[in-house]
Amino acid sequence: MPRRHCIRVGLGVRRPSTAWGVHRAGQRVSRALIDTHCHLALLEERGLLQRALEGADAAGLEAIVTIGVNLEDSERNCRIAETHPRVWFSVGWDPQQPRPPDEAELRELATLLRHPRAVAVGEVGLDLFFRAGYHETPLDVQRRSLMRMLELAVSEEKPVLIHDREAHDEIIDALTAVSGVRGVMHCFTGDASHAARCVALGFVISFSGIVTFPRADAIQDAARGVAGDMYVVETDAPFLAPVPHRGTVNLPERVADTVSALARLRRVADDAVRSDTTNTARRILALQHAVADSRS
């Protein structure tokens, strides 16, 4: 039986609900803040989707990008994005998948990428943190998956969201091998030198709650040095809650804590980091429509 994509062929795309973004007593919230990477489908599984969206609204988020890790998950995130005006989604095949996407799946992924609320391919990448219960997908399988998804991103003219866990050199090799690829280094865990290599390839650096952790010295050093137009912020919710929420279920609103930590590291005001990261996210993910939604 064919999969039911969230694209309604012949009927157009469902108009997003206006429920998220309505403020009591005409309250107006500044929206210079974007969570470039979270997993709303996982929050939905935990019964926390509405709580997450309401908290994001109260915190003044302009946009949220919810991330797919395989075809089914990407479809779920597409359906969420269709019904919320400041939610966008990506189409991914993460390194924990046990095999590369086959040709039929690649065609379905490509169809999803043509949805008007799809902004990126991802997450995709390499993960060398092999642990029982986490994942055990061999590196050669991960590489084949990554290369197929990078080629898809180039053919569909979409940025990629790169998952890189303990695979810095291998990721650089893969990105160098594919002409025209661009995007975001999701949940950056490298040092300043690795950040410079990524930026040289045209990738922006995404800082998560990890940058707030007390022993994240190398990541914090990278955060101090990256150019103002080459970094963004994310939560990776429900994972990686920043200090002072570490150990709890993460939510998109907590991207503001990461912004504050980056402002302290860079010795600037929070508003400067909000401006840097929002402008960069708008540019790299082509989120101009999200800006229009936030002003409506």
pLDDT digits (tens, 9 = 90+) for 53-102: 999 999 999 999 999 999 999 999 999 999 999 999 999 999 999 999 99
3-class DSSP assignment, residue 184: strand
Q: Is pLDDT larger for residue 160 or for residue 290?
A: 160
Please compute the mean of the pLDDT values over residues 186-193 and round it to a whole number: 98
Write down the pLDDT at residue 5: 56
Q: Is residue 20 part of a domain?
A: no
Nearest-angstrom CA–CA distance, 266 and 79? 38
**Burial of 79 per CB tally in 10 Å (0-12, 13-18, 19+):** middle
Q: Is residue 19 part of a domain?
A: no
Please compute the mean of the pLDDT values over residues 165-191 and round it to a whole number: 98
Write down the pLDDT at residue 30: 54
Write down the pLDDT at residue 105: 98
Write down the pLDDT at residue 212: 98
Q: Is pLDDT larger for residue 161 or for residue 295?
A: 161
Query: In angstroms, how far is CA 3 from the centroid of its own chain?
Result: 24
| Confidence band of 13 (pLDDT split at 50, 70, 90) | very low
Q: Is residue 26 part of a domain?
A: no
Q: How many domains does the chain have?
A: 1
| Confidence band of 295 (pLDDT split at 50, 70, 90) | low
Please compute the mean of the pLDDT values over residues 162-173 and round it to a whole number: 97
pLDDT digits (tens, 9 = 90+) for 97-124: 999 999 999 999 999 999 999 999 999 9
Q: Is residue 18 part of a domain?
A: no
Q: Is residue 94 part of a domain?
A: yes
Q: Is residue 169 part of a domain?
A: yes
Find residue 66's DSSP bridge partners. Answer: 38, 89
Q: Closest Cα partner for 68 from 138, 3, 124?
A: 124
From first CA to last CA, the distance across the chain in angstroms is 40
Half-sphere exposure of 248 toward its Cβ, with a 13 Å CA cutoff?
A: 10
Write down the pLDDT at residue 166: 94
Please compute the mean of the pLDDT values over residues 159-185 and round it to a whole number: 98
Q: Which stretches of 201-286 are assigned E, i.e. beta strand?
A: 203-207, 231-233
Write down the pLDDT at residue 16: 53
Nearest-angstrom CA–CA distance, 293 and 296? 5
| Confidence band of 23 (pLDDT split at 50, 70, 90) | very low
Q: Which residue range is the domain that position 281 belongs to?
A: 33-295
pLDDT digits (tens, 9 = 90+) for 115-152: 999 999 999 999 998 777 777 899 999 999 999 999 99
3-class DSSP assignment, residue 87: strand
Q: Is residue 10 part of a domain?
A: no
Query: Does residue 17 carry a pLDDT above 80?
Result: no
Nearest-angstrom CA–CA distance, 88 and 79? 10
pLDDT digits (tens, 9 = 90+) for 197-251: 999 999 999 999 999 999 999 999 999 999 999 999 999 999 999 999 999 999 9
Cβ(65)–Cβ(36) below 8 Å: yes
Write down the pLDDT at residue 133: 72
Cβ(5)–Cβ(72) below 8 Å: no
Please compute the mean of the pLDDT values over residues 240-268 and round it to a whole number: 98
Q: Closest Cα partner for 95 from 40, 42, 166?
A: 166
CATH of the domain at 143: 3.20.20.140
Query: Does residue 176 carry a pLDDT above 70?
Result: yes
Write down the pLDDT at residue 31: 61
Look up residue 141 and give its two tokens. 């399988």
Q: Is residue 1 part of a domain?
A: no
